[in-house]
Amino acid sequence: DSGVTQTPKHLITATGQRVTLRCSPRSGDLSVYWYQQSLDQGLQFLIQYYNGEERAKGNILERFSAQQFPDLHSELNLSSLELGDSALYFCASSAVAGGAGELFFGEGSRLTVL
Amino acid sequence: AQSVAQPEDQVNVAEGNPLTVKCTYSVSGNPYLFWYVQYPNRGLQFLLKYITGDNLVKGSYGFEAEFNKSQTSFHLKKPSALVSDSALYFCAVRDPTGGYNKLIFGAGTRLAVHP
């Protein structure tokens, strides 16, 4: 158990809909990262937050947004969903910024868009 | 741009034999390199990392990795494979440009260990 909790584990929805994925980082970790894993794109970095502030942005679509709350949990919002958004979405956390600490990953949220 | 290449989609090895999963990298500055493993329907689990020092890094579950600066490689190895090692393995490099500890992952290599 990595200590990173993601909900829901599975989600099935229709095109055009909006969903919210939730992540609770390991106790004490200030950084949260979101990754998308799909068969054709592999693991793609989406966005990173550190202590409530956005730190880095990757290949995140404009239809997607995220935030990190004061209690350090994070939410990834996906809107106007398309079939191609079906993927496994991972949240990861790491300890204090800097250095080369490893990321700890949650079990993922599997999104299926029909 | 920072990148990681895993040249093999799949590696097949017999149980008890040594295994190697290959990784090469491209990064500006000193590389911080990582290996992760993903079992079916699970998240990624950290195996080991190279930051500095000894080129041979030991990690979890008997895995080790060899850093080779001249060949820009960081191959994952294990002296004797187990069937339970069958999984998807990812090599990653830290992207030093912006953010903290953002990792860039390779495409992954599926390891199949046959009894």
Q: B67-108 pLDDT, tens per residue?
A: 999 999 999 999 999 999 999 999 999 887 766 678 899 999
DSSP one-letter code for A98: S
* Mean pLDDT across chain A: 92
Q: Which two tokens stand for residue B58?
A: 């030991």
Contact list, B49 vs chain A (CB under 8 Å): 100, 102
**Residue type at position B51:** I
Beta strands B73-78; B64-68: pairing state: antiparallel
CB–CB of A105 and B45 under 8 A?
A: yes
* Nearest CB neighbour to A102, from listed B34, B41, B99: B34
Please tell me which residue of chain A has the smallest CA distance to B93: A100
> What phi and psi, each to the nearest 5 degrees, are found at residue B83?
-60, -35
B83 touches chain A (CB under 8 A): no
Contact list, B102 vs chain A (CB under 8 Å): 33, 45, 48, 56, 58
Q: Which carries the bigger pLDDT value, residue B77 or residue B41?
A: B77
Please tell me which residue of chain B has the smallest CA distance to A110: B41
Please tell me which residue of chain B has the smallest CA distance to A102: B46
Split at pLDDT 50, 70, 90, the class of A110 is very high
Tens digits of per-residue pLDDT, A62-83?
999 999 999 999 999 999 999 9
Nearest-angstrom CA–CA distance, A7 and A14: 19
